[in-house]
Structure 1
Amino acid sequence: MTDDEQPQEAAHTGELTRRKVVAAGGAALAAVTVGGGVAFAGQPGKGGGAGPAREECYRLTAETTEGPYYIDADKIRRNVTEDREGIPLALRVKVIDSDTCRPLKHAAVDIWHCDALGIYSGYEDASQGGPGGPGGPGGEPGGTPTGTPTGIPTDAPTGPPGGGGPGKTDPTDDNRYLRGTWLTDAHGHVDFRTVFPGWYRGRAVHIHTKVHVGGKLTETGYEGGHTCHTGQFFFDEAAVLASAEAEPYSTSTTERTTLTEDTIYDQNGISGGLLRLRYKKDDIARGVVATITVGVDPDETNEGQDWVTGSPSPSAS
């Protein structure tokens, strides 16, 4: 049976919960053409470094905070772009068992992130990068970025690392762009089509992710199982600075935070969530291909919620 013939391809619609997700057919991932002059970033090692990529399958990928803007598996789809403008991003995630090195098939992978101007769907009024939000610019973005990314501003919201506010809150609107969940194939791969994220105060550019295992797809959705990984994917500084030259990123006036100054990224390359990026060096606007291997312990439970309540480490039981 091919990936396109697997039962998760069936189209369904509806409201979803963490342990019961209703399938909605996603468009097949459209590959991003990058052509010659391709730039590579995000190799294993401290802060990325150089050299050939090597999967260190015995290493767990770092657990991080869930953050305040997670919505339980609301959309089962691979193309999460909807109407959002931005640099096309083809994201391929490989999920493996960090103990056996074997791929995890039919694991449910969630991704969610802000748009090019730092706004999260479901939380448009509260998003840090959005107008009027905590840490937002207080108006519609305009002008050009303020140069090289700077450190965490002194007036950035306090609270749990990476949480962006006082903790988990209920959605404030019905939008769900740049959010999606899909099942890994027999090789542990899952592909998403989205846009390159923007930035907001106090955080480097990132994508949130969760991995659920042990459940099954039924006629009404994905049921059962547990969350074995809560993490974030990160983008190297060269790519972020290149994106800032393209619209609509170039219209943002929100301060940026560098990868080395981020409070969540652990500076450990791929094991810390650093993506390997491929794009045309002098024309990133054409699109970016991002890949990463995520090592998880499928027997553990890592919801990422203890970070939000102030615990020094993610939950694990």
Structure 2
Amino acid sequence: MTGNQTAEGPKHQKDLTRRKVVVAGAGAAVAVGTGGALAAGAFAGESGAKGAKGTSASASSTSSSGEVCYQLTSETTEGPYYIDADKIRRDITEDKEGIPLTLTLKVIDSETCKPIADAAVDVWHCDALGLYSGYESFSNGGGGGAPTDAPTDAPSGTPTGEPPSGGGGGGGHQEPTSDTRYLRGTWKTDKKGFVTFKTIFPGWYQGRCVHIHTKVHVDGEWTDAGYEGGNTCHTGQFFFDEESALAAAEVAPYATSTTERTTLDEDTIYDGSGVQGGLLKLKYKKNDIAKGVLATITMGVDPEATRTGQDS
């Protein structure tokens, strides 16, 4: 899909300069774009997502005129279970059971705050019981519990080659061991930088909190075969606040998991920086999360950078 992406640029330095982007209202991350209207107003209640130590998940408003500032979105490790854009689609659910999740993303240039159109956005995550498609023999789902000596977000057994970099979600890339591809997909951003995926609320597995992986590719070409060439300018993860994770854990099939869940504060990948670190803004009906969740976030990326997640 995106060609050979082994070249890497200088190690990423987070740009802490706050830049402004004018939006229709203070809730920039929930602006209705492609697919956003599908879920707008669909949920009576809203969960105010909070990060580690009470960090607010919503972007901070700088004035009543609706100006909102964004920082460069944090880079994270790719993890071992990435498959290079097998499925060009927006609905990645297939037949997996779980709480319906509408994931609406906006991609902007962190320097200019302008939306990035025609970018290829990948998302992938585990199912309700912690299994990744293509890697069921590696990922430790929660049906019978995980081995006590299993590594976090890494395959069991003796690794080959260099030791995995980073902890709790790092690990070198592993080749798929099955043909399944549920809960994976790639789609392009519209002219306003929006892209929407239909999926399910992820489950969890040993050593990691509830999360979704993502990549953003730019400067490639959309063809009948998919997306070709270009550059991976962002590799990150999206995170869910504790209130939503606890609520989901009470719903089948999540409630059948026997795997101990790592909390957001305990996770070794989430950096505690709220939206900048990938914390999603969530909307769902209070006391009835099973009806569905709307998750939104704006990603500020550097389109000229190469960020494959191998140097994070």
Asked if 1:19 corresponds to 2:3, the answer is yes
Aligned to 2:78: 66
Equivalent residue for 1:265, pick from 266, 270, 275:
270
CA distance change for structure 1 residues 162 and 90 in 2, over 3 Å: closer, same or farther? farther
Distance in 1 between residues matched to 2:260 and 2:52, nearest whole Å: 28
- Structure 1 residue 42: deviation in Å? 2.8
CA distance change for structure 1 residues 234 and 47 in 2, over 3 Å: closer, same or farther? farther
Identity, % of aligned positions: 64
Conserved 8 A contact 1:41-1:48: no
Cα RMSD (Å): 2.5
- Structure 1 residue 130: deviation in Å? 5.6
Give me the TM-score of the superposition, normalised by structure 2.
Answer: 0.78
Aligned to 2:198: 193
What 5-or-longer segments of structure 2 have no aligned partner?
5-34, 62-66, 153-163
Aligned to 1:91: 103
Conserved 8 A contact 1:112-1:179: yes
Distance in 2 between residues matched to 1:163 and 1:229, nearest whole Å: 20
What SS does the aligned partner of 1:111 have? Answer: strand
Asked if 1:82 corresponds to 2:91, the answer is no
Residues 172-202 of structure 1, C-alpha deviations (whole Å, 9 max, x = no match):
0000000000000000000000000000010
1:94-113 matches, within 5 Å, as 94-113=106-125
Distance in 2 between residues matched to 1:201 and 1:119, nearest whole Å: 11
What is the total number of aligned residue pairs between the two structures?
A: 265
- Structure 1 residue 224: deviation in Å? 1.5
- Structure 1 residue 222: deviation in Å? 1.3
What SS does the aligned partner of 1:227 have? Answer: strand
Asked if 1:246 corresponds to 2:216, the answer is no
Aligned to 2:151: 157
Distance in 2 between residues matched to 1:50 and 1:181, nearest whole Å: 25
Conserved 8 A contact 2:211-2:238: yes
Distance in 2 between residues matched to 1:44 and 1:119, nearest whole Å: 25
Aligned to 2:229: 224
What SS does the aligned partner of 1:85 have? Answer: coil
Give me the TM-score of the superposition, normalised by structure 1.
Answer: 0.77
CA distance change for structure 1 residues 76 and 119 in 2, over 3 Å: closer, same or farther? same
Q: Which deviates more, 165-174 or 83-92?
A: 165-174
Conserved 8 A contact 1:109-1:209: yes
What 5-or-longer segments of structure 1 have no aligned partner?
1-16, 21-27, 139-153, 307-313
1:48-59 matches, within 5 Å, as 48-49=55-56, 54=61, 57-59=69-71
What SS does the aligned partner of 1:96 have? Answer: strand
